[in-house]
Amino acid sequence: MSAHCQLTGAQPGFGNNISHSHRRTSRRFDPNIQRKRYWLASEGRHVRLTLSARAIKTVDTIGVEAAVARIRARGVKA
């Protein structure tokens, strides 16, 4: 599964682990990505979205219809 949110566009950030001796090695900061299934009443079907935890809260606030409209406006298939 790709670490990429369909609604917010959140994707991994990159940085360094810094050890006690101050050596640096590469690391990745992944967003908290979940796959969630929603009922889309306007189309009479379920949609499965790949969302970050923050985006799931956004869907709870604005509703699934508006969220799918935003996703499609970004040019992502939903």
Beta strand extents in 1-78 (DSSP E only): 13-18, 24-29, 33-40, 45-52
10 Cβ partners below 8 Å, 6+ apart? Answer: 4, 31, 33, 52, 54, 55
DSSP annotation of 3 reads S
Note down pLDDT in tens along the chain; length 78 residues: 579 999 999 999 999 999 999 999 999 999 999 999 999 999 999 999 999 999 999 999 999 999 999 999 999 888
H or E stretch covering 57: helix 53-62
CB distance 27 to 15 below 8 Å = yes
Which pTM does this prediction carry?
0.86
